[in-house]
Amino acid sequence: MRPSGIPELDALTGIGGWPVGRLSLLAGPRGSGKRTLAQRSVASASREGVVAYIDFPQRLDPEFLNHFDARLDHLLVVRPTSLKDGMASVRVLARAGVDLICIDLPRARSSGLDAELPHLLHRAAEAECTLLLIHDAEADDAIRYYASLILTFQRSAWVFRPDGDLEGLQVDATVVKNRLAPPGLKKRWIVPYPIP
């Protein structure tokens, strides 16, 4: 188990964090908070060791991670041009000893993932590397089969400060699948946005 750095998320997983050597999926529509939560977890893990972010949409802002006290000198950002190149990068990084790898994979880029996942998970298990997958839709059959933990997120409200600035968003999270603890847990909490 690797703590996520987010107490509410650690409680939701039932094991106190992300399963090591396995794949965890954060699913839900755009704007549901899953990407912010994953990036907060990456920031937290960077304070303990080397982490990687496979940035298919090419939208990761290191300054955003910096607001969460990320160790940017422990972060490697990979921006692959194809799914095959991205998955090859994950396998190499896991073998090289990267502790946590977050794969930000929009639905449009996920074609062919089912053929890549068995090799990816074999390498992650051997290397005891924690894999997080951010996906903009419900999990398809291949991801459902291979993921040990599936969390779905929905934004239920925007939260504003008294001065009118955005404070964060209220999310409803559900454990859809959990191979290490009982599934079906639900939790609602406010995901704060960093103050610039």
What pLDDT band is residue 171 in, cutting at 50, 70 and 90?
very high
pLDDT at 35: 94
pLDDT at 139 over 80: no
End-to-end CA distance of the chain: 32
Domains belonging to the chain, first-starting first, are 7-192 (3.40.50.300)
pLDDT at 196 over 70: no
pLDDT at 104 over 70: yes
In terms of Cα–Cα distance, which of 112, 1, 133, 42 is closest to 10? Answer: 1
pLDDT at 124: 94
What pLDDT band is residue 80 in, cutting at 50, 70 and 90?
very high
* Chain segment 57-67, per-residue pLDDT in tens: 999 998 899 99
What pLDDT band is residue 106 in, cutting at 50, 70 and 90?
confident
**Cα 154 to Cα 101: distance, rounded to the nearest angstrom:** 23
Query: Long-range contacts of range 114-117, CB-CB < 8 Å, 24 or more positions apart?
Result: 114/140, 114/141, 114/142, 116/83, 116/84, 116/87, 117/23, 117/142, 117/143, 117/146
What pLDDT band is residue 96 in, cutting at 50, 70 and 90?
very high
pLDDT at 146 over 70: yes
